[in-house]
Structure 1
């Protein structure tokens, strides 16, 4: 058996260092980007709730139509989509509510991982339109969600709330229902 030559030894060390560099380069690059303050951004259609609020910890009370309090924490982890209607919820408002319920349906097998809660005065034709088949109707007697409620007539805004009661995103008046659907598909898997 012959000893490796200096050239073969240098070549094998260079290969070894190249393998280490291939694995270390992404870690070093991520560390440098993080130190520089850069954070990746994803395309979300809702606006983040800042500062973050946790409705369960703040004891935000939503009274359902049957008199019970809305449970922010459920027996299984499920997100809540809250629809907040402006005064005089009518045609445009009902159209947005229908599209929001349809976004839940497009989740297919994961549709049961999203609860729909309507907070406010329901439209006059809520019973006839089948709204109660998809939405739980409630009221915010303390006005805790007033900052998110639209003031324009016949309008609706939405809040997406995590299963622990943390408000994630606000979808203000005029939001894109297809964007809401895309966001739901990202967070509910």
Structure 2
């Protein structure tokens, strides 16, 4: 006859309890996934659907020094592209300054984000030190025209993955503090 002592029964129950504690979240996640529920986070930008890879589509950005912008960098870094509407003036410059400040708030991870300004630089860009933070370029084939704002003195932004995939669009009038929050989530 096989009898189980109370100590052995207690040990088995404790073991099963530990297994259940570790298995419960996995089981709950599987059930939620099977039911179709997916977690959603609050992002301030709009996802680009369908996604497009700017490197594979050979989007050519010509820099001020005559070189082409390398979508794939030597180290994995995201690119934040600023596209200005016609007549970039004070409101546009204010947004560009806040975008550069968002990069600075990344502290030690600031080097993991490149800033690219595409279009005609503002008239006072040289005196404002814009070149200290932004790489200046032009869209050789006008491939990014769909993302460029039409309103005067406005800016849109594109967040591009290190492989050249455009992830998020921040349309004209976006909140730069929301952009900063998104960058802090993505770049760690």
TM > 0.5 fold call: yes
1:72 is matched with which residue?
Answer: 71
| Mapping of residues 21-170 of structure 1, within 5 Å | 21-170=20-169
Consecutive unaligned residues of structure 2, counting only runs of 5 or more, are none
Comparing 87-96 with 41-50, greater Cα deviation is found at 41-50
RMSD: 1.7
The 3-state SS of whatever aligns with 1:80 is: strand
Shift of 1:24: 1.6
Matched residues, number = 187
Query: For the structure 1 residues 21 and 63, does the alpha-carbon distance in structure 2 shift closer, same or farther, using more than 3 Å as the test?
Result: same
C-alpha separation in 2, matches of 1:78 and 1:188: 9
Shift of 1:107: 1.3
4+ runs deviating over 6 angstroms: none
Comparing 20-29 with 78-87, greater Cα deviation is found at 20-29
The 3-state SS of whatever aligns with 1:18 is: helix
Shift of 1:105: 1.1
C-alpha separation in 2, matches of 1:162 and 1:54: 9
Consecutive unaligned residues of structure 1, counting only runs of 5 or more, are none
1:130-160 residue CA offsets vs partner (Å, 9 max, x unmatched)? 1111111111121111111111110000011
Q: Which has the higher strand share?
A: 2
C-alpha separation in 2, matches of 1:8 and 1:68: 76
TM value normalised by structure 1: 0.92
The 3-state SS of whatever aligns with 1:157 is: strand
TM value normalised by structure 2: 0.92
Shift of 1:66: 1.6
C-alpha separation in 1, matches of 2:13 and 2:110: 54
The 3-state SS of whatever aligns with 1:42 is: coil
